[in-house]
Structure formats: structure tokens, C-alpha cells
């Protein structure tokens, strides 16, 4: 009976370790794409403003909206990571 209890405790410990690794990988992979997208959006917006400074307000508005949508993807990854970790 004691051996079965030890096996159950070891399996539970392994499950927690696997959950932690899965949560870490989820947030790492889920942050790479939004970070790349935000960097590319900002770079292209700065290029566009440099070419046509009069259009800066329109470009800036579109850039901020696009960055917000890209950031939402990272938040979804965070939510999934928290669900993996705590459920």
C-alpha cells in the first residue's frame, strides 16, 4: 500500500513538472509572433512617416490599432498558459 502511495505521489509530481514546462513553452512561443509583428509594424510605420510626414496621424492610428490586435494574441497565449498551469 505504501509503495502505491509513493508511485501516486511521484506521478503527481511529474504531472506538475510537465504542466510547468507546457505553460512556459506556451507563453514563450505565444510571445514570439506578437513581438515580431509589433517590431515589424513599428518599423514600417516609421518608414511610412519618414516618406510622407503629412500622413503621420493616419499612419499612427492604424499602427496603434494593429499593435493592439497583435498584443491580444500574446494575452491569449498567457491565458492558455495559466489554464495549463492551474487546471
Report the CATH number at residue 21.
1.20.20.10
| 74, 31 contact by CB (below 8 A) | yes
For all residues of the chain together, what is the average pLDDT? 89
Start-end of H helices in the chain = 2-51, 56-86
What is the pLDDT confidence band of residue 54, given thresholds at 50, 70 and 90? very high
- Pairwise CA distance, residues 44 & 42, whole Å: 6
Q: What is the pLDDT of residue 1?
A: 59
Sign of CA dihedral 31, 36, 38, 39: positive
| Model pTM score | 0.72
Cβ neighbours around 20 below 10 Å, total: 13
Burial class of residue 81 in the structure, from the number of CB atoms within 10 Å of its CB (0-12 exposed, 13-18 middle, 19+ buried): buried
Domains in the chain, number? 1
Asked whether residue 45 carries a pLDDT value surpassing 70, the answer given is yes
Q: Which domain holds residue 79?
A: 2-86
Amino acid at each position: 500500500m505504501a509503495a502505491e502511495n509513493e508511485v501516486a505521489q511521484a506521478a503527481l509530481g511529474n504531472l506538475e513538472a510537465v504542466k510547468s514546462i507546457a505553460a512556459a513553452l506556451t507563453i514563450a512561443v505565444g510571445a514570439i509572433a506578437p513581438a515580431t509583428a509589433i517590431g515589424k509594424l513599428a518599423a514600417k510605420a516609421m518608414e511610412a512617416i519618414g516618406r510622407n510626414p503629412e500622413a503621420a496621424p493616419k499612419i499612427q492610428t492604424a499602427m496603434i490599432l494593429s499593435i493592439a490586435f497583435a498584443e491580444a494574441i500574446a494575452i491569449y497565449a498567457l491565458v492558455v498558459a495559466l489554464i495549463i498551469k492551474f487546471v
